[in-house]
């Protein structure tokens, strides 16, 4: 079968590899559509970490279950149409640690990431699969990570006692994660200040339903003069300047939620202990979501409350071109691979 592998950093190679067989507890899935996540680009470039190669890549997929291994402990059956990925950390969780018992399976110490969805087939732990109805189009495949990451971050607002009706800034609001977050936040009842760059992206933010669509260059002035700060800033843009902007927009007692992952080379955010204490600020992160979150998100998508903005569609053989275009900001929204055979 055809699959994409990182054999040397900076690009992927499309090669022929053996078709996998499902191990105990696993399901073999024939991939019909794969999503291209920004974290895939980071892994290809090696700017987060350099893992041993050759290495399969890809963690957002929709497909059909073709075979089940022994000891299947899920409700998944052969022929089911499923979405798989769970933010790249959903390959396995133990179910018994303090994090799993608290519903935070994505922080399980035994969790395993998913790699290898840029291929015709993948075999993986069956309980990580979520059945989807025919009403959910294959083009919604980026829900598996991009959508779920946004959902997890917005859901966290409630746990942090940031109630619906509060002003929240979504930074990178037209991007692959942010465009989901705008829709989800509005569905949950928040007042959304969508921040991004340039008229094309701001037009998208407006169409998504944001209460305000503000350019990065004007965000500080607008929020200070009109809103006196926001209760929360959620950063989906993958650069440190976005994090620093998010901090600057907060009102006293405000919360910064980080979801976008900049390259390590950009360093860290800038805040002094004095400012942290005197302004009573809160800083936290949000790492994707759970299989139950994925089920909830699928339902929102089926109801038409969350839609994927697809900016690029390609064959598997064009994956390196997609990464280059992503790196240079040549398209807005998500990219999908809808033909694994070419």
| Both structure tokens of 273 | 């202990």
Residue 110, helix vs strand vs coil: coil
Q: Check: CATH 3.40.50.720 for 150-285?
A: yes
Question: For the chain, which ranges sit under pLDDT 70?
Answer: none
How high is the pLDDT of residue 268? 92
Whole-angstrom Cα Rg for the chain: 20
Return the residue matching tokens 């839609």. Answer: 307
| Both structure tokens of 8 | 């040397």
CA nearest neighbour of 172 among 197, 149, 139: 197
- Residue 28: beta bridge partners? 67, 123
Within a 13 Å sphere around the CA of 58, how many CA atoms are in the beta-carbon half?
A: 32
How high is the pLDDT of residue 45? 87
How high is the pLDDT of residue 245? 97
CB atoms within 10 A of CB 159: 8
Contact yes or no for 124/113 (Cβ under 8 A): no
How high is the pLDDT of residue 46? 84
Say whether the peptide bond before residue 83 is cis (omega within 30 degrees of 0): no
How high is the pLDDT of residue 49? 74
- Annotated domain spans of the chain: 2-145+289-339, 150-285
E-strand ranges in 180-241 read 191-196, 212-215, 230-235
Residue 207, helix vs strand vs coil: helix
Which residues have CB under 8 Å from 221's CB, separation 6+?
none
In whole angstroms, give the CA distance from residue 291 to residue 296: 9
Superfamily of segment(s) 2-145+289-339: Medium-chain alcohol dehydrogenases, catalytic domain (3.90.180.10)
């Amino acid at each position: 079968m055809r699959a994409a592998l990182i054999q040397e950093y900076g690009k992927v190679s499309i090669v022929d590899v053996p078709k996998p067989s499902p191990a105990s507890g696993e399901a073999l899935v024939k991939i019909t559509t794969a999503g291209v996540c920004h974290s895939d680009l980071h892994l290809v470039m090696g700017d987060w970490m350099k893992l041993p190669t050759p290495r399969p890549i890809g963690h957002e997929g929709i497909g059909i279950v073709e075979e089940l291994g022994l000891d299947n402990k899920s409700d998944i059956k052969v022929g089911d149409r499923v979405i798989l990925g769970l933010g790249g950390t959903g390959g396995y969780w133990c179910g018994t640690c303090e994090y799993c018992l608290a519903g935070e399976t994505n922080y399980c110490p035994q969790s395993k990431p998913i790699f290898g969805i840029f291929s015709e087939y993948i075999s993986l732990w069956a309980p990580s699969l979520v059945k989807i109805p025919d009403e959910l189009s294959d083009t919604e495949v980026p829900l598996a990570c991009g959508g779920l990451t946004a959902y997890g971050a917005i859901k966290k607002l409630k746990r942090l006692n940031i109630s619906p009706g509060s002003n929240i800034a979504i930074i990178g609001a037209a991007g692959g994660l942010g465009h989901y977050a705008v829709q989800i936040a509005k569905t949950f009842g928040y007042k959304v200040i969508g921040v991004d760059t340039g008229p094309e992206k701001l037009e998208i933010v407006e169409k998504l339903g944001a209460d305000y669509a503000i350019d990065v260059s004007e965000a500080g002035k607008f929020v200070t003069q009109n809103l006196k700060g926001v209760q929360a800033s959620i950063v989906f843009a993958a650069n440190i300047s976005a994090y620093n902007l998010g901090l600057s927009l907060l009102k006293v007692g405000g919360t910064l939620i980080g979801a976008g992952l900049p390259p390590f080379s950009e360093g860290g955010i800038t805040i002094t202990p004095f400012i942290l204490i005197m302004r009573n600020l809160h800083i936290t992160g949000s790492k994707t979501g759970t299989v139950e979150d994925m089920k909830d998100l699928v339902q929102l998508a089926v109801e038409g409350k969350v839609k994927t903005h697809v900016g690029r569609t390609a064959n598997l053989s064009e994956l390196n071109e997609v990464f280059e275009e992503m790196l240079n900001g040549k398209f807005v929204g998500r990219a999908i691979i809808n033909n694994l055979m070419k």
